[in-house]
């Protein structure tokens, strides 16, 4: 009961308080239809145990091993009995429930890494150097203490207790050699729940400084706390929000911090699902983008990673180079074309052709970006990576669902495989007679489909202004299997009625109008912030946390730079607390 | 929950001891004399084949409703310039050649795994998946009722091209094959390698056991919520199952290699023969039941042994290359290698008196049809699988004539072959489904082809789940 009262008080105060970091005056919370006060005080249980993602496993190990990690990683993955790379392969597979492959991946990773370190005596300075100097060194307690203080503390994100130190030392002392001792101790450390899981034990309430350091570190870099954070936690200096904010800013701007932010974009926009243009695409319109003329290069040679790199370059440029806000992210008419790869005989950039820029850069890296004007493709919504398709016709349904789901957080139920298969087995409509949008309308006109597609289709049809490679177009082209143009259709008639805000439909005619509408949408800002929350915590926000997310999202409306907004989403009062 | 967890674990530990003891009970093995299992061996090449030289006109074709067929032994001489003298009468009696199997999945002709997935994307289709047929077999309890030493051997001499893709880790990935003979030798035959693997398995089992105890301590001693305990409990259950499986993995020593075996080779065909020797020995020893072998050569990879640029050769079809070789020559070289693999299998007598080839479903195909990024009429050869496969047969599923001058003669979905092979190992839809409601197996992601009126009756749910007529008994 006491906990409930405390929790309730906290939730109310968190929602009503003016957060310290917010520069403009507090904005009224826009209530959702089913949330009369916008911030329901009832609190749901917040898990205190969460398994690390594979990216976090990798980053944590890298944080401890430093540059040596790469050498170990190479060997580790070459030796993996699964003939696959478990760290790389379940990057996207976070959350619950656990799967057998994820658990096995962690076990095998721990085993191989422990063995690799134990078999590299020169590198055991990592934690246990003095234990191997003599044949009985590993039986000396003192030689292990440094390892417990530094290595184990970093791997577990907390100081091992006296009992745990005793336990680990007992394992070491029982081994016949120093090498075996290092292997067994590391194995115990790497396979322990404290490595694989974030564990915040104890009663609800304010978390410890050690736990706080771990929260800041994983939210910003996806790795364990660095020395600075550990020191601050040890000094008790993290209880001040200003210090937390300062550390968050520092870590977000580091290489791992920026990597982690890119990983967020990958997850938010599901970039692993970016489809390459159909191989035949590369051959159509040979004078423009054809592979038939090698000197002209082709989109067919651009891999998904190239598309994704352009999108991430765009994101990085807006966030870091210009200090841009959410509106800039959604509307900036720029692109980042570059050569599609060294050694590629089709050397001209496909991106240049898609965005119709005046040129391209030799290379584009996030530390050296050159922007080119691309008026036809304003903002994040109209990156080529989000527009391409492997089919010979555009996919308005896919595009519309992405807008609704990823940018406006509108959860639309799946139609079910049976309906999709049955639809595919219908008599196909003739694209020589009907335009693509007319075919989609007809295909989705049944009662089972229409309620959702009344929302999806208009959203998708506005993207018909972009062809299958993401290039702006003024008409729809029907192509045969050889990608020859057989017929053209006009684009769907405007305006398109799209629900950009809750309960408010906007009539939009052009991609530029859509970009502007999303840029001004409270729902869109909150949606991105919610995805960022999910990236940090691997779960949906509780009601109290939703208040914070919404408040930060609202601050973005006033031109708050995105890099500050991301700091706001991590370094706020919520970070100090654990809920019942 | 705690009590049942402990008793279950105790039970599993007891079962491990029993399972570990079984392989050492030689008298059991001798008395049981079980029927040898049906193995699977897939050899796949790249760049397709020269269609005009693939199979010569059959002297006495029989036309049925859905296909034409004839006996391979009816050919008085060679079947074709590609199937040369290596395909003698005895080999023909154990094999089948199929024409007219068309890919329904997206492909650019360079995704090697299309041979076992029917498409190169793994995405973009509600019925698509990122899993090749071998990975399905590898995990199947019907294919592997007991844990093998190696679930599969994947070999790709001189190339990194893999026939295998999986989404076992919830993320589409290509499974890395073994590239060098030394690597494969170490994996299967090197006594030190076998010992290392046994040590590793013991280490993993020990580590898992230790970690399990740590998790139990965490569960029991800390202040965690019920939800968190449930989360850890699920993790522990999986750990326990993994520990059990690792402990059950047998360690088999195989010494079936030819005398004076070395892992070096002076030519590409000699290198493939080395690999085939090891793969056949592994099947014979029971180390595994599943072998994949990539036969892919491009100039850079063969330059050391003076090979031609087969890629360019394939694109130019019959045009002579700088080395004077034609695409057909490359095809004949490939199919000679394939014949060599089949003959090595056929030279081994299995425990039931049949040959290893009789007890293996042998499958050859290519990443491309005609060498020019085409996926109509894929090259398909099957062999062995006595009692399962109709042998000494050529079967052509193509329509009698093309629908227009520009169209090829259309056949049947290649995916029905994949379904037929899965059926041959006793797997039904429920066994090989990756997604709920999946219809058949293999990609149907090429929207244009799927909507072709000719194919429409062949892509219904029922048709996708059907096996090929005639070819399988």
Assess contact for A202 and A210: CB atoms under 8 A: no
Q: Do the chains contact at B228 and A51, CB–CB below 8 Å? A: no
pLDDT tens sequence across B448-460:
666 677 888 898 8
- In the stretch 46-105 of chain B, residues with CB closer than 8 A to chain A read none
Alpha-carbon span A363 to B182, nearest angstrom? 40
Nearest CA in chain A to B456: A425
Q: What is the pLDDT of residue A94?
A: 35
pLDDT tens sequence across A33-85:
333 244 443 444 455 788 887 778 878 888 888 777 777 765 554 433 323 33
Q: What is the mean pLDDT of residues B20-43?
A: 63
Assess contact for A324 and A366: CB atoms under 8 A: no
Tokens of B86: 């290596």
For residue A345, pLDDT over 50 is answered with no
Confidence tier at A389 by pLDDT (50, 70, 90): confident
List chain A residues with CB under 8 Å of B106. 278, 390
Does any CB of chain A come closer than 8 Å to the CB of residue B232? yes
Alpha-carbon span A96 to B322, nearest angstrom? 58
Rounded to 10°, the helix A2-16/A543-556 angle is 10
Q: What is the mean pLDDT of residues B147-164?
A: 84
Does any CB of chain B come closer than 8 Å to the CB of residue A202? yes
CA distances from B150 to A14, B41, B189, B291 (A): 57, 14, 12, 10
Assess contact for B258 and B286: CB atoms under 8 A: no
Confidence tier at B403 by pLDDT (50, 70, 90): low
Assess contact for B289 and B40: CB atoms under 8 A: yes
Min Cα–Cα distance to chain B from A298, Å: 15
Q: What is the pLDDT of residue B260?
A: 74
Does any CB of chain B come closer than 8 Å to the CB of residue A486? no
For residue B106, pLDDT over 60 is answered with yes
Contacts of B129 (CB under 8 A, 6+ apart): B117, B122, B167, B434, B435, B438, B443
For residue B67, pLDDT over 80 is answered with yes
**A275-289, A372-386, A441-455, B314-328 — most confident range:** A372-386
Q: What is the pLDDT of residue B111?
A: 75
For residue A462, pLDDT over 60 is answered with yes
For residue A110, pLDDT over 80 is answered with yes
CA dihedral sign of residues A525, A531, A533, A535:
negative
Of A85, A104, A191, the CB nearest to B210: A191
Q: What is the pLDDT of residue A74?
A: 57
CA nearest neighbour of B161 among B152, B174, B142: B174
pTM for this prediction: 0.70
Nearest CA in chain A to B235: A98
Mean pLDDT, chain A, integer: 77
List chain A residues with CB under 8 Å of B121. 275, 390
Does any CB of chain A come closer than 8 Å to the CB of residue B244? no
CA nearest neighbour of B456 among A389, A425, A483: A425
State the DSSP H helix or E strand holding residue B461, giving kind and residue range, or none if neither: helix B461-464
- In the stretch 367-406 of chain A, residues with CB closer than 8 A to chain B read 389-393
Top residue of B127, B139, B169 to mutate, by most chain A CBs within 10 Å, is B169
pLDDT tens sequence across B215-256:
888 887 667 778 788 878 888 888 888 888 788 787 777 877
Q: What is the pLDDT of residue B44?
A: 95
Does any CB of chain A come closer than 8 Å to the CB of residue B212? no
Q: What is the mean pLDDT of residues A287-308?
A: 45
Alpha-carbon span A59 to B420, nearest angstrom? 45
Does any CB of chain B come closer than 8 Å to the CB of residue A192? yes
Q: What is the mean pLDDT of residues A518-539?
A: 91
Q: Do the chains contact at B126 and A188, CB–CB below 8 Å? A: no
Alpha-carbon span A172 to A182, nearest angstrom? 7
Q: What is the pLDDT of residue A537?
A: 82
CA distances from A531 to A164, A260, A261, A526, B226 (A): 37, 13, 12, 9, 27
Confidence tier at A348 by pLDDT (50, 70, 90): very low
Q: What is the mean pLDDT of residues A263-268?
A: 90
For residue B434, pLDDT over 80 is answered with no
Min Cα–Cα distance to chain B from A542, Å: 15
Does any CB of chain B come closer than 8 Å to the CB of residue A504? no
Mean pLDDT, chain B, integer: 80
Per the DSSP assignment, residues forming a β-bridge with B42 are: B292, B363
- A477 cis-preceded (ω within 30 degrees of 0): no
Buried/exposed A114-146: b ≥16 CB within 10 Å, e otherwise: bbbbbebeebbebbbbbbbeeeebbbbeebbee
Confidence tier at A221 by pLDDT (50, 70, 90): very high
Q: What is the mean pLDDT of residues A262-272?
A: 87
Instruction: Mean pLDDT check: name the lowest of A1-10, A20-29, A151-160, B448-457.
Output: A20-29
Neighbours of A204 (CB within 10 A): 20
pLDDT tens sequence across B327-379:
788 888 899 999 999 999 999 999 999 999 999 999 999 988 887 667 889 99
Alpha-carbon span B132 to B127, nearest angstrom? 14
Does any CB of chain B come closer than 8 Å to the CB of residue A91? yes
Of B107, B171, B451, the CB nearest to A91: B171
| DSSP per-residue string spanning B266-295 | SSHHHHHHHHHHHHHHHHHHTS-SEEEEEE
Q: Give this complex's ipTM.
A: 0.71
Of A84, A110, A197, the CB nearest to B173: A84
Instruction: Mean pLDDT check: name the lowest of A126-140, B94-108, B156-170.
Output: A126-140
Does any CB of chain B come closer than 8 Å to the CB of residue A47? yes
Confidence tier at A420 by pLDDT (50, 70, 90): low
Per the DSSP assignment, residues forming a β-bridge with B95 are: B383
């Amino acid at each position: 009961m006491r906990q409930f009262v405390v929790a309730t008080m906290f939730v109310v105060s968190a929602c009503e308080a003016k957060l310290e970091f917010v520069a403009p005056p507090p904005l009224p919370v826009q209530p959702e239809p089913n949330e009369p006060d916008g911030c329901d005080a009832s609190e749901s249980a917040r898990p205190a145990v969460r398994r690390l993602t594979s990216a976090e496993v990798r980053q944590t190990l890298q944080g401890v091993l430093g540059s040596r990690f790469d050498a170990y990683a190479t060997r580790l993955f070459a030796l993996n009995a699964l003939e696959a790379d478990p760290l790389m392969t379940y990057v996207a597979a976070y959350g619950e429930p656990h799967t057998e492959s994820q658990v096995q991946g962690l076990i095998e990773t721990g085993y191989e890494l422990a063995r690799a370190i134990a078999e590299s005596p020169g590198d055991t300075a990592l934690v246990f150097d003095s234990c191997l100097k003599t044949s009985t060194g590993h039986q000396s307690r003192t030689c292990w203490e440094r390892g417990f203080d530094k290595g184990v503390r970093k791997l577990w994100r907390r100081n091992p207790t006296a009992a745990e130190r005793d336990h680990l030392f007992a394992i070491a002392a029982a081994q016949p050699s120093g090498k075996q001792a290092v292997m067994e101790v590391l194995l115990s450390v790497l396979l322990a729940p404290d490595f694989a899981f974030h564990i915040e034990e104890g009663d609800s309430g304010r978390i410890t400084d050690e736990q706080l350091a771990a929260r800041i570190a994983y939210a910003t870099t996806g790795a364990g706390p660095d020395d600075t954070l550990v020191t601050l936690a040890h000094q008790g200096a993290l209880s001040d929000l200003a210090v937390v904010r300062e550390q968050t800013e520092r870590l977000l701007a580091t290489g791992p911090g920026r990597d982690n932010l890119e990983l967020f974009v990958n997850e938010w926009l599901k970039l692993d699902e970016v489809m390459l243009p159909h191989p035949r695409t590369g051959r159509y319109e040979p004078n423009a983008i054809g592979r038939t003329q090698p000197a002209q290069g082709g989109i067919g040679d651009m891999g998904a990673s190239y598309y994704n790199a352009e999108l991430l370059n765009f994101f990085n440029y807006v966030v870091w180079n210009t200090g841009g806000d959410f509106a800039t992210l959604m509307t900036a008419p720029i692109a980042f074309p570059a050569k599609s790869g060294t050694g590629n005989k089709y050397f001209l950039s496909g991106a240049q052709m898609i965005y119709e820029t005046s040129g391209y850069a030799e290379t584009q890296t996030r530390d050296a970006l050159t922007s080119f004007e691309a008026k036809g493709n304003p903002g994040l919504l109209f990156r080529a990576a989000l527009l391409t398709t492997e089919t010979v016709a555009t996919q308005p349904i896919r595009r519309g669902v992405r807008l609704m789901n990823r940018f406006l957080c509108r959860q639309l139920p799946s139609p079910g495989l049976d309906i999709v298969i049955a639809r595919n087995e219908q008599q196909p409509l003739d694209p020589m007679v009907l335009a693509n949008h007319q075919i989609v309308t007809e295909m989705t006109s049944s009662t089972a489909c229409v309620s959702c597609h009344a929302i999806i289709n208009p959203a998708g049809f506005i993207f018909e202004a972009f062809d299958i490679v993401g290039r702006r177009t003024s008409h729809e082209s029907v192509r045969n299997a050889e990608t020859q143009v057989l017929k053209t259709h006009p684009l769907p008639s405007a305006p398109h009625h799209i629900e950009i805000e809750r309960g408010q439909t906007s009539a939009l005619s052009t991609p530029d109008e859509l970009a502007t509408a999303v840029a001004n949408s409270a729902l869109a800002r909150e949606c991105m912030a919610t995805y960022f929350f999910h990236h940090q915590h691997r779960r949906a926000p509780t009601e109290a946390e939703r208040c914070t997310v919404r408040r930060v999202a609202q601050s973005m409306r006033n031109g708050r730079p995105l890099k500050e907004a991301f700091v706001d989403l991590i370094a706020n009062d919520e970070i100090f607390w654990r809920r019942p | 929950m705690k009590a049942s967890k402990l008793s279950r674990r105790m039970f599993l530990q007891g079962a491990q001891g029993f399972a570990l003891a079984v392989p050492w009970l030689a008298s059991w093995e001798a008395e049981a004399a079980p029927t040898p299992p049906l193995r699977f061996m897939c050899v796949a090449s790249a760049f397709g084949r020269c269609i005009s030289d693939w199979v010569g006109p059959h002297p006495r074709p029989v036309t049925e409703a859905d296909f034409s067929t004839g006996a391979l032994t009816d050919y008085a001489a060679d079947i074709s310039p590609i199937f040369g003298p290596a395909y003698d009468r005895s080999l023909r009696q154990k094999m089948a050649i199929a024409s007219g199997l068309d890919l329904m999945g997206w492909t650019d002709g360079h995704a090697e795994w299309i041979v076992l997935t029917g498409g190169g994307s793994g995405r973009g289709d509600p019925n698509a998946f990122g899993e090749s047929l071998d990975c399905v077999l590898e995990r199947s309890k019907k294919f592997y009722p007991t844990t093998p030493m190696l679930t599969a051997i994947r070999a790709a001499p001189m190339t990194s091209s893999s026939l295998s893709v999986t989404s076992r880790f919830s993320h589409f990935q290509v499974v890395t094959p073994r590239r060098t003979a030394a690597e494969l030798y170490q994996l299967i035959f090197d006594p030190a390698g076998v010992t290392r693997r046994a040590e590793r398995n013991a280490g993993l089992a020990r580590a898992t056991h230790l970690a399990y105890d740590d998790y139990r301590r965490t569960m029991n001693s800390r202040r965690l919520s019920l939800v968190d305990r449930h989360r850890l409990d699920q993790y522990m259950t999986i750990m326990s199952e993994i520990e059990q499986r690792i402990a059950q993995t047998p360690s088999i020593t195989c010494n079936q290699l030819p005398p004076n075996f070395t892992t070096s080779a002076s030519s590409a065909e000699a290198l493939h023969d080395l690999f085939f020797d090891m793969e056949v020995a592994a099947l014979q020893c029971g180390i595994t039941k599943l072998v994949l072998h990539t036969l892919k050569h491009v100039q850079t990879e063969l330059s050391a042994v003076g090979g031609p640029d087969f890629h360019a050769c394939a694109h130019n079809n019959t045009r002579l290359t700088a080395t004077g070789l034609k695409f057909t020559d490359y095809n004949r070289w490939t199919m000679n290698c394939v014949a060599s693999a089949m003959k090595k299998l056929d030279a081994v007598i299995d425990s039931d008196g049949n040959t290893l080839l009789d007890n293996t479903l042998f499958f050859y195909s290519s990443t491309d049809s005609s060498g020019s990024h085409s996926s109509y009429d894929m090259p398909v050869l099957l062999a062995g699988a006595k009692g399962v496969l109709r042998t000494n047969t050529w079967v052509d599923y193509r329509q009698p004539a093309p629908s227009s001058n520009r169209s090829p003669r259309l056949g049947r979905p290649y995916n029905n072959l994949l379904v037929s092979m899965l059926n041959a190992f006793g797997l039904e839809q429920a066994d090989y489904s990756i997604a709920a409601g999946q219809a058949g197996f293999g990609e149907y992601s090429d929207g244009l082809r799927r909507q072709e009126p000719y194919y429409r009756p062949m892509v219904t749910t029922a048709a996708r789940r059907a096996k090929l007529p005639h070819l399988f008994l």
